Structure 1
Amino acid sequence: MVSWPQPSSCQGAERNDCISRFGKVSTVSQFTDNFARRFYYLRLSITDVCNFRCTYCLPDGYQPQGTQNKSFLTLDEIRRVTRAFAAAGTEKVRLTGGEPSMRRDFTDIIAAVRENDAIRQLAVTTNGYRLQRDVARWRAAGLTALNVSIDSLDARQFHAITGQDKFDLVMRGIDAAFDAGFSKVKVNTVLMRDVNHQSLETFLDWIRSRPIQLRFIELMETGDGGTLFRQHHISGAVIRDQLIQQGWVLQARARSDGPAQVFRHEDYQGEIGLIMPYEKEFCASCNRLRVSATGNLHLCLFGDGGVSLRDLLAHDGQQEALQARIAASLATKKQTHFLHQGNTGITQNLSFIGG
């Protein structure tokens, strides 16, 4: 393991001020597992509540998990957990849910994470229903990247998939994101056989003159979604083969990027990304860890359980203990998921941990 340099704000004469703001400067080495994978990327869920009823995630709407009176991570707990990860090499944080913008303090959460200069990228994955109203505020607070879930460019099919007649609202939200200064927007599309897998040309026409990275995500089996998976799963290789035939070129992947294979074409302003968790060696480049909205560390989206961090997030002064617990947990991270065997772990639906 290699030591990670401290952020510039913790150097020289400003060091004491940095310590007072962020706590004791860490000497913990970068988070690394037994397979030499380094973790630059934290996916932090801040709620499991969602107002959409997507067929592949929450077809019956949001149902509280566990106790009815559970509490989600507070603003200060979010500061502490992201500070600990940043001090051990994490440079990208993605805020997820559920639908993260359902938290009333969402803009404050963005600002709190961005207090730490070591977090170079702060992204959110959203269903987009509050984009038009709030995206300018999010960008002003420090949000640097945006993923919006859109599974169809047909308004009626969008309604059928999400349970919400909000297609036009979400599309206006994407326009608002560009107006707010985002140079690129990523759009997540869950790839489903006989639903949208034959719509590639429609999506390509949409991104021809728009700086949108459209990401096709293979439908993944969850504990609640086995029947739908068997009906609608299709490999992203079908899309990849079409792209290559049309002259799209695979791009190199940066160390803090997500798992997408990204393709570009000289005739298009937009890009295509493919996320294919069933492809061989998908897990070999894993660079991300997950923390749930209730403060559990998850080493894999489809793992068997979580490691509680909540007791070490209650107050300042626990950062080294927190980092030590995370580092020790990495010794148990498996080399791969077991989706091919139909083992979905504890993930009953994709809002449970944050997708």
Structure 2
Amino acid sequence: MPTTALPDAAPAVRPLQDRFGRVHTDLRVSLTDRCNLRCTYCMPEEGPGWLPRPELLTDDEVVRLVRIGAQRLGIRTVRLTGGEPLLRRGLPGLVARLAAPADAPELSLTTNGVGLARSAAALREAGLRRVNVSLDTLRRDRYRELTRRDRLADVLLGLAAARAAGLAPVKVNAVPVRGVNEDEIPELAAFAVEHGYRMRFIESMPLDAQGAWQRERMVTADEILERLAGRFALEPVPRAGSAPAEEWRVLGTDAVVGVIASVTRPFCGGCDRVRLTADGQLRNCLFATAESDLRALLRGGADDAAIEDAWRTAVAGKGPGHGIGSASFRRPDRPMSAIGG
């Protein structure tokens, strides 16, 4: 069956709006469910099985869907995710294709940083604008325990390479977990201030593959801020649009630190995100329990208008919020590594 189709003449862009009036302009595109780390809050030590390669979207299919999103649906920003997106073969070439059109959305990437030192310059040259790097600890033994891999030195080199390549701002994401690494919150922030990175702390969420998430082990935004305030003087920064992070400026510096309180201070009312999994399933929420199969449309020969209609229908059905903590909340069947961050 055909996997590509000639582009239709681009119609006037209509906002991608749900029934609550939220306009969606940000697309997260997972390029693989595979990862070269085994973070304890994300994956079990062994498994789960990876998606078969024929089920993954091809480069042509990713490029086509991003073009439809940008030209017909008003998508303005695209973040490439995984799994670990740096494991995608030929990634700089794919980035160059996504960045080529004059109306291309701004491209960023979320990575664990393990392979970033050898790819940062090529990705920046291809058109990538910035990176988010996951880093939950600065201690080698703890990093090895958390990720089940001894790769902290590689991540630190990757951060420096991203900064040198001009992938700015370089954002560092950490997930504090009670009894594991919450004591490093001030230390991680100080590291980011010293090196010119933008630190963000993220409340842990029930998206691990092994289903072991426990709310009592989640370090809340209030606790994170309390620990930060013990070391730094902080000044609130006005929230920019639908940005998920609440931010504070570290007084006496140009540094900004953020907290993403997805559980205790949900920002669902302003959400502008939609997600595409590595196997071509469209999700209107990180915690969605249903998906729309865009890959089947692509490989069945659907034209751009049909794909646009399916996309709009999926987003129109988006709920008011994730509902974590409510009696009706149900975890998604897929873990974060298979959904895309």
Q: Which amino acid aligns with 2:253?
A: Y
Q: Which amino acid aligns with 1:214?
A: M
Cα distance in 1 for partners of 2:53, 2:98 equals 26
For structure 1, list consecutive stretches of 5 or more residues without a partner in the other structure. Answer: 1-19
Report the equivalent of 2:67.
83
Cα distance in 1 for partners of 2:53, 2:25 equals 33
Report the equivalent of 2:10.
25
Task: Please list the CA deviations of residues 103-152 of structure 1 after superposition, one character each: whole Å capped at 9, or x if unmatched.
Answer: 11211121121123333420111111111111100000000010111110
Structure 2 residue 120 is matched with structure 1 residue 139: no
TM norm structure 1: 0.87
Which SS does the other structure have where 2:339 is aligned? Answer: coil
Which SS does the other structure have where 1:101 is aligned? Answer: helix
Report the equivalent of 1:3.
none
Deviation at 1:90, TM superposition (A): 1.0
Q: Which of residues 135, 139, 150 in structure 2 aligns to 1:165?
A: 150
Which SS does the other structure have where 2:212 is aligned? Answer: helix
Pick which of 311-320 and 47-56 moved more. Answer: 311-320
Contact 1:110 1:142 in 2 (8 A): yes
Report the equivalent of 1:74.
58
Contact 1:23 1:317 in 2 (8 A): no
Contact 1:216 1:273 in 2 (8 A): yes
Classify 1:145/1:21 alpha carbon distance in 2 versus 1 (closer, same or farther; 3 Å): farther
Q: Which of residues 210, 224, 233 in structure 1 aligns to 2:195?
A: 210
Report the equivalent of 1:254.
240
Which SS does the other structure have where 2:337 is aligned? Answer: coil
Which SS does the other structure have where 1:279 is aligned? Answer: coil
Which SS does the other structure have where 2:103 is aligned? Answer: coil
Contact 1:303 1:344 in 2 (8 A): no
Cα distance in 1 for partners of 2:300, 2:121 equals 32
Contact 2:34 2:50 in 1 (8 A): no
Report the equivalent of 1:346.
332
Report the equivalent of 2:36.
51
Q: Which amino acid aligns with 2:236?
A: L
Deviation at 1:248, TM superposition (A): 1.4
TM norm structure 2: 0.90
Q: Which amino acid aligns with 2:270?
A: S
**What percent of counterpart residues are identical?**
32
Contact 1:210 1:269 in 2 (8 A): no
Which SS does the other structure have where 1:207 is aligned? Answer: helix
Report the equivalent of 2:284.
299
Q: Which amino acid aligns with 2:101?
A: N
Classify 1:82/1:316 alpha carbon distance in 2 versus 1 (closer, same or farther; 3 Å): farther
Deviation at 1:319, TM superposition (A): 1.6
Classify 1:295/1:240 alpha carbon distance in 2 versus 1 (closer, same or farther; 3 Å): same
Q: Which amino acid aligns with 1:274?
A: V
Report the equivalent of 1:183.
168
Cα distance in 2 for partners of 1:263, 1:119 equals 31
Contact 1:215 1:272 in 2 (8 A): yes
Deviation at 1:99, TM superposition (A): 0.5
Contact 1:98 1:351 in 2 (8 A): yes
Q: Which amino acid aligns with 2:203?
A: E
Matches within 5 A, 1:7-18: none
Classify 1:151/1:215 alpha carbon distance in 2 versus 1 (closer, same or farther; 3 Å): same
Deviation at 1:69, TM superposition (A): 5.7
Contact 1:223 1:347 in 2 (8 A): no
Which SS does the other structure have where 2:296 is aligned? Answer: helix
Cα distance in 2 for partners of 1:250, 1:61 equals 42
Q: Which amino acid aligns with 2:67?
A: R
Pick which of 241-250 and 205-214 moved more. Answer: 241-250
Cα distance in 2 for partners of 1:94, 1:62 equals 26
Cα distance in 2 for partners of 1:21, 1:209 equals 50
Q: Which amino acid aligns with 2:295?
A: R
Classify 1:339/1:27 alpha carbon distance in 2 versus 1 (closer, same or farther; 3 Å): same
Pick which of 290-299 and 114-123 moved more. Answer: 114-123
Task: Please list the CA deviations of residues 207-252 of structure 1 after superposition, one character each: whole Å capped at 9, or x if unmatched.
Answer: 2232211111111113644434246212122112444674312223
- RMSD (Å) for aligned C-alpha atoms: 2.3
Q: Which amino acid aligns with 1:159?
A: R
Q: Which amino acid aligns with 1:121?
A: E
Pick which of 317-326 and 290-299 moved more. Answer: 317-326
Contact 1:292 1:354 in 2 (8 A): yes
Matches within 5 A, 1:201-240: 201-222=186-207, 224-230=209-215, 232-240=217-225
Which SS does the other structure have where 1:147 is aligned? Answer: strand
Cα distance in 2 for partners of 1:223, 1:165 equals 21
Q: Which of residues 101, 116, 123 in structure 2 aligns to 1:116?
A: 101
Classify 1:348/1:321 alpha carbon distance in 2 versus 1 (closer, same or farther; 3 Å): closer
Which SS does the other structure have where 1:85 is aligned? Answer: helix
For structure 2, list consecutive stretches of 5 or more residues without a partner in the other structure. Answer: none
Cα distance in 2 for partners of 1:282, 1:123 equals 21
Q: Which of residues 40, 56, 62 in structure 1 aligns to 2:25?
A: 40
Classify 1:315/1:79 alpha carbon distance in 2 versus 1 (closer, same or farther; 3 Å): farther
